[in-house]
Amino acid sequence: MDFRGKKYERGSNWSDPEVVELLQLWADESVQIELESCLRNQHVFNRIAEVLREKGIHRTGDQCREKIKKMKLEYRRIKDNSKAPRGGRTWKFYEVMDRVLTSRPALAYGSLSGSMMAQQVLQGSMVESYHHQFTSSALPFGHSQHPELMEIKCEEVNSDDHSLTPEPPQAMPYQQGSPEEQEMERAFLERAQNDSPISRVEIPIETSVSPSGFSEPNMANSSRIQNVVPRPGFSALHRLRKKRKGQRMRDPLDDLLLKTLTSQRAMEERFLQMEERRFQRDLDVEERRMQLEQRRFELEREHEFRMFNVFAQMLSILKQSHSGSSSSVAMPQGLDFSQALSEIEGMRGRGSNLQEMRLRPLAKRRVDVHSFCNPSGFQRSPYLSARGNFASAFQGSTEEGYKAYHADKYDEDKNPNGIINFGTSENKLCFDLMSKRLTQADMNLMDPSLLQYPDWKGHLFLREEVARFLTYYCKAPAPLKAENVIVLNGCGSLFSALATVLCDPGEAILIATPCYGGITQSIFLYGNVKLVYVYLDSKITGTSTRPFQLTVEKLEKALQDAQAEGVTVRALILLNPQNPLGDIYSLSELRDYLEFAKRHELHVIVDEIYMLSVFDESATFHSVLGMDRLPDPQRTHVMWGITKDFAVSGIRFGTLYTENQDVVNAVASLCYFHGVCGPVQHKVAQLLRDRDWINQVYLRANHARLKAAHTYVTDELKTLGVPFLNRNAGFFVWIDFRKYLKTGTFEEELLLWKRFLDNKVLLSCGKAFECSEPGWFRIIFSDKTHRLQLGMQRIRKVLEEREQEILAEEKEQPCQSDQDGKADSTDEVIFVSRHQDPLCASSSSLGDLIGLLQQQMRSSDWLQKNTAEQFAQEKPEIYDVFSKLVGKQ
């Protein structure tokens, strides 16, 4: 087998006997001289390989050469770095290599008169010529190349490792672009063109002595420079070729990699900046939370101080009564907390505005309701009738606010300084759910019957679906009938139609206030039907157990006052859940109201449009349709629509359910003016039919979002110390801003409303709901979080400014007890108004103090937090003394 053909085959593994044979041949003095004296020494290793094959060792010249190079590198590494071989063991061939390399002859070369002279230094003697001293007979194998054709070259050591020989200082410093570099490059180019011994020796060559004692030229060609010249100072030509080669072989992916790394670094820097901003924002939020907690803690402590103060005054009065003091006041027999509170509120008096309103005749009060809506400077138009002129002027503060809102509507991107609408009762939390459901395939139907005139009461398929829907969600004891269902374009149209068919012009309908103000416009503009208001108070009087509670006694009194003035009342309107209070009537209350209406032969119009918007599980809604027996089914009419419960106020759809066929036919005759288009009827029927989606997807998400928004707004109000009604239905919170009014009048209320509007937040004032007490406002919380946050910030700003103004005025005046119109609500009103301070009262009876104590207790959870069991655990000694004292009594 011919191994010479495999020129670049790298050596296989060598056994120790093979290495010994190789070293014996390579260490021969004649072989060393030839290797040192020739430029190309491959033929020497080829002859060594032939000798080895004769001895049975089949290796090629390349393998022999590579093995020697590796052994020389190993030797130099050990010798130059003074390191032991790998594994800490002694290298068995180190002594042989050291003996050969330290005694290797060194050759010096120089140029004289344009010719080459070789000088060999061997043990201090000069050898005149190479071929005279070392002939072929002195070698174990013959010479294959004439000495005159030999080129000067040290053997190559191609390795990826760094050179192991010590780096001598550079004899000639090199700078890129210097004259030396240009001269050397020109010399190498001439050498490439004239490949002769004379042209090659014209290049100046410097030598360096290796540690082993042999001399190696510093510069001969690129491979020699790589081994001998100190790194990184390569020869000019080698570096130039390497640079050009690098430019030729430059991969376009390098630029892409560079750009990628640059982008990654920029992204990392951006991420760090965002993290810093997020961390700062978290710190700000935490600081804000701590401030809120601190303020809440101060309010709670203030409330506890008031309660203890009341306790102290009560104990003082009891002590004086027990000692027989003439100044004591005995507790009246049969006095309960509600009556005591009523008396103390009565002693303080009511606002002059409220007194005047109560003392006015009913007819005059009804006129005032509409005169409030007339703009100043109104002029009668000759082109309109009296009714047309009145309709043209029928707009109140709500219309003014809506006009300003639509002219400057808030938009997060386009108009961030616009007006935020907290006045329109719309659910803006579920647009994503409804838009997805209303655009599904089953909603898109364009049947010819839907494009034609329908039954004016509504398509039969829709009325059947409405009947099934109300049967299920109203928990009707028996299935409701489709023939009793009427469909109109919204509940406002239903109010107009019912007022028209149930009342004659000039007659009236009974309704409790505060109430939704749009009802007034709905029943008056078309049918000329007026409203008789049953004014509800924030104070607990008579049989009331909560603020603004509707009772039969109040209904009876309002009806008697109207009849005394010659006003005919035909119907009663009930809002359940109530707007704007959020009250949910119990079954017993509903039965009482219906029994009252039956006794007086009144129709009852029950508006249950917020039926599915009860967002707290602790509150239970009871529909009139769910009652086992209606006192007067022929005079009971129930309204409902999808506008509120399904967050689609833009789709005008309302439905009426009544068992009175005369009412059905009369209202159906007006449906021609208030019909719903066919495609919308199909969509609504499909929506009401999808019971699984409503129960599992929509209602769950809607209730959770409403509850979260309600919690946020009420927490903000608690932080501000503003009283409000705590209810769990609808989209609104009824807020008590009376302490921010200077005089407690509706004029002051309107000024505060305009101040909110000037600060780009729209609220609804109490006058728009015919509230009898100035200072109450309705806020809509069913909105997105970012709008709620910004809106509450604007409200806070107005209230803080207003509070500073009031405090500045109070500093100029002493503490007074004439808190007209600022009596605090009890029960579900959270946080007592700061204007009420028992220390300011000049005199107090025991009944007054008991009523005040009840008010404080109902507006606080102090008793729930401070129980007797908890007190016994915290202070057992005091509790034992107290228990013994109670036992003795």
Amino acid at 648: V
Residue 300 tokens read as 């709670």
Mean pLDDT of 272-292: 88
Tokens 């009325």 locate to 463
- Among 8-12, 35-39, 66-70, 471-475, the minimum mean pLDDT is found in 8-12
- Asked if residue 181 lies in contact with residue 232, where contact means CB atoms within 8 angstroms, the answer is no
Confidence at 765, pLDDT banded by 50, 70, 90? very high
Q: What is the largest CA-CA distance in the chain?
A: 155
Confidence at 17, pLDDT banded by 50, 70, 90? confident
- Asked if residue 570 lies in contact with residue 563, where contact means CB atoms within 8 angstroms, the answer is no
- Is it the case that residue 6 has pLDDT exceeding 50? no
Phi and psi dihedrals of 154, rounded to 5?
-80, 155
Mean pLDDT of 69-76: 87
- Is it the case that residue 440 has pLDDT exceeding 80? yes
Tokens 């021609």 locate to 672
Mean pLDDT of 787-796: 95
Strands of 636-641's sheet in order across: 485-488, 654-658, 636-641, 603-607, 569-575, 508-513, 530-535
- Among 96-105, 122-131, 176-185, the minimum mean pLDDT is found in 122-131
- Asked if residue 30 lies in contact with residue 139, where contact means CB atoms within 8 angstroms, the answer is yes
Give the per-residue pLDDT at 12. Answer: 61
Confidence at 881, pLDDT banded by 50, 70, 90? confident
Tokens 């509150």 locate to 619
Entry field: residues in the chain: 889
Give the per-residue pLDDT at 184. Answer: 53
- Is it the case that residue 254 has pLDDT exceeding 90? no
Condensed to tens digits (0 to 9), the pLDDT of residues 598-634 reads: 999 999 999 999 999 999 888 899 999 999 999 999 9
Give exposure, 168-189, as e/b (b: 16+ Cβ within 10 Å): eeeeeeeeeeeeebeebeebbe
Mean pLDDT of 780-791: 94
Confidence at 393, pLDDT banded by 50, 70, 90? confident
- Among 167-171, 462-466, 734-738, the minimum mean pLDDT is found in 167-171
Give the per-residue pLDDT at 856. Answer: 58
- Closest to 85 measured CA to CA, from 96, 98, 97, 94: 94
Condensed to tens digits (0 to 9), the pLDDT of residues 38-65 reads: 778 888 889 899 999 888 898 898 889 8
Condensed to tens digits (0 to 9), the pLDDT of residues 502-525 reads: 999 999 999 999 999 889 888 888
Condensed to tens digits (0 to 9), the pLDDT of residues 317-333 reads: 666 655 554 333 333 33
Q: What is the DSSP string of 436-449?
A: HHHTSGGG----GG
Condensed to tens digits (0 to 9), the pLDDT of residues 639-672 reads: 999 999 999 999 999 999 999 999 999 999 998 8
* Max mean pLDDT range (131-140, 185-194, 357-366, 550-559): 550-559
- Asked if residue 425 lies in contact with residue 731, where contact means CB atoms within 8 angstroms, the answer is yes
Confidence at 637, pLDDT banded by 50, 70, 90? very high
Give the per-residue pLDDT at 396. Answer: 53
- Among 304-308, 388-392, 731-735, 858-862, the minimum mean pLDDT is found in 858-862
Give the per-residue pLDDT at 352. Answer: 39
Give the per-residue pLDDT at 588. Answer: 93
Give the per-residue pLDDT at 33. Answer: 84
- Is it the case that residue 131 has pLDDT exceeding 50? no
Give the per-residue pLDDT at 211. Answer: 36
Give the per-residue pLDDT at 96. Answer: 84
- Closest to 849 measured CA to CA, from 451, 347, 368, 445: 347
Confidence at 76, pLDDT banded by 50, 70, 90? confident
Mean pLDDT of 227-243: 55
Q: What does the alpha-carbon distance between residue 378 and residue 383 come to, in Å, rounded to a whole number?
A: 15
Give the per-residue pLDDT at 488. Answer: 94
Give the per-residue pLDDT at 814. Answer: 57
Give helix 29-37 / helix 16-26 axis angle, nearest 10°.
70
Mean pLDDT of 667-682: 91
Confidence at 544, pLDDT banded by 50, 70, 90? confident
- Asked if residue 203 lies in contact with residue 191, where contact means CB atoms within 8 angstroms, the answer is yes
pTM for the model: 0.56
Residues 6+ apart with CB under 8 A from 656: 485, 486, 488, 494, 498, 637, 638, 639, 667
Amino acid at 736: D
Give the per-residue pLDDT at 813. Answer: 67
- Is it the case that residue 216 has pLDDT exceeding 60? no
